[in-house]
Chain A
């Protein structure tokens, strides 16, 4: 069974940092581009960042460029999202996705004082 499990979400103050993790199983993780997609409360879907299977290409949405960093460790079947200088508008459920084939259940990030 394919599984993607996110962790690391929580409540953080504006300007703070969080590191999200996502671990995959049931598929060949190292073959997949990995993505982070977020969904603000009651809103639609926004791709935040992706990293290719080998990690050689990385890209970010303009809304997070310079503040978020994506990384992966294929030996651990994991992808990470380091989020710095968080803002209220970053409040969302963050999903990791293997390409767009498989999706996790998401982890909630709340940025509030």
Chain B
């Protein structure tokens, strides 16, 4: 089974400062079709998950451009260039190459 490991699990950030979340997969996420199915989700308190990024680096419609995704193979990163108050929540990476396996989640909070 694929294991997705996120770090850190807790991320206190000062407003306006950058934040970065790492996600590592136990298996390469490059699919037989050549695509890499790695997505990032945001879950604000009391809300359902919302996809931010798909196929590593593609931002969903309506997602602020301060969010960016990068990586390849087994190592991926979500970056927030300048954290805003509305970014508070839990962020999950998810592989879609094999099944849908989510990371444990990273809780972003304001210092």
Contact = CB atoms under 8 A, between A and B. Distances in A.
Interface of A: 35, 37, 44-47, 50, 59, 61, 95, 100-101, 103-106
8 contacts: A44-B105, A45-B105, A46-B102, A47-B100, A95-B49, A100-B41, A100-B51, A100-B54
A44 B102 CA distance: 8
Contacts of A101: 51
B96 interface: yes
Interface of chain A: mostly helix, strand, loop or mixed: strand
B39 interface: yes
A65 B105 CA distance: 25
B48 A45 contact: no
Contact of B39 (A37, A100, A104, A106): A100
Contacts of A37: 49, 100
A44 B41 CA distance: 12
Interface residues of B, number: 18
Contacts of A104: 48
A100 B100 CA distance: 10
Contacts of A61: 99
Contacts of A100: 39, 41, 51, 54, 94, 96, 100
Nearest to A62: B1
Contact of B104 (A44, A47, A50, A106): A44
B76 interface: no
Most chain B CB inside 10 Å of its own CB: which residue of A35, A44, A59: A44
A2 B99 CA distance: 25
A49 to B, nearest CB: 11
Nearest to B103: A44
Given A44-B92, A44-B105, A45-B92, A103 B100 contact: no
A100 B51 CA distance: 7
A37 B49 CA distance: 10
B50 interface: yes
